[in-house]
Amino acid sequence: MNILLKSAKIVCPENKELHLKKRDILIKKGIIEKIGAAVEAPANTKVVEKDNLHVSLGWFDSSVSFGEPGFEERETIANGLFTAGKSGFTDIVLNPNTNPVPDTSSDVVFLKERGIGKATKIYPLGTLTKNSDGVDLAELYDMKNAGAVAFYDFKKQVSNPNLLKIALLYAQNFDGLVYSFPQDGDIKGKGVAHEGEVSTKLGLKGIPALSEELQIARDLFILEYTGGKLHIPTISSGGSVKLIAEAKKKGLDVTCSVAIHNLFFSDETLTSFDTHFKVSPPLRTKSDCKTLIKGVKNGTIDFVTTDHIPMDIEHKRVEFDNAKSGSLGLESAFGSLNTIFELEETIVFLTKGRSRFQIVPPALKEGSKACLTLFNPDGEYTFEAKNILSTSKNSMFVGSTLKGKVYGVINNGQSTL
């Protein structure tokens, strides 16, 4: 596959020579062969010319769910990877949100093999415990050798503190990364929305920020005792940002992420009782949103994620209390972030995070493998159902005004242009 990108504005802050310069980029057999002001197209080369064409290193997402195996009606791996590629993502960390869950090395191998030859690469997570039941540790070492980049019981708290202690100690033997979902289930109880003024007015059972912050505080105490590497996915409260900032000042090896929808929306959107806005952790207050955005900007929050969770209509078109949590996020990721942040910030947030998962970051230079995302950062539009490429259609961003358009990716010798 030979491709020539014409007059592409490069957004790559780490490459000062090329950053914000317009260049032609010639890609031959998946390798960046030449970057120049005017590059001639060799024979049998696809020339790509797009309106206001911009290019950056390929984007990375640390929290994506599909459905296969077990929930193929929500999303297959093939269509999920197609959606990710068209949305600008060249690399995704795949959540263990399947049936059965990936708790053995053979499960991890299956997931990796399903992604072979695609423009978007899969980096699977294995579960932390067998069957994600929170009792016995899964085959962490074997799964790491098979390609699992970390270990996570998806959206489930590690309720047994001793189990987290043992996991952090054991994983140090092979430099493993342990996840802990930030929510105390006992305090959450039957809550379905952030506990506050909005939930009280609407009569919805509340989930206090305390449920998240107490869990994080406990986990950080354990991490300080054991050492090791801890990742806290999708925090949602301002108090959590402060706790993690303090832990980092102590030198603890902890990272965290935030879902884009927790930056973009507050709990005030729940007045319509639209179940697309039911997520876990829940949307919180505007004050929390502001603190989270500040945490992303100052680096306390290590990376943003779509927290993309396809969910079939049967689990969303029900009463708010009974609906399952989760929203799509891949298709709206760039447009929403580009609305909140400046372009250069947005690209930094979309490209950082690989090293935490021991994924080799790409480079934008001659001789490197092409791992590129193509986009137009300008132009506002209303996100509609027609913009959704996923099999499921449960996006809370439908009706939102977003900014910018993704053209696709070039990666792994493939293209979604």
Angstrom distances, CA of residue 242 to CA of 45, 112, 192, 256? 52, 36, 24, 12
Residue 253 annotated in active site? no
DSSP calls for 35-104? EESS-PPPTT-EEE--TT-EEEEPEEEEEE---TTT-TTT--HHHHHHHHHHTTEEEEEEP--SSS---S
DSSP calls for 335-369? HHHHHHS-HHHHHHHHH--GGGGTPPPP--STTSB
CA dist., res. 160 & res. 127, Å (int): 15
DSSP calls for 163-224? HHHHHHHHHGGGT-EEE--S--HHHHTT--EETTHHHHHHTPPEE-HHHHHHHHHHHHHHHH
CA dist., res. 358 & res. 15, Å (int): 21
The phi and psi torsions of 251 (rounded to 5 degrees) equal 90, 15
Given 51, 253, 307, 321, which residue is catalytic? Answer: 307
Tell me the three state secondary structure of residue 3: strand
Chain length of the chain:
417
Tell me which residues are annotated as active site.
Answer: 307
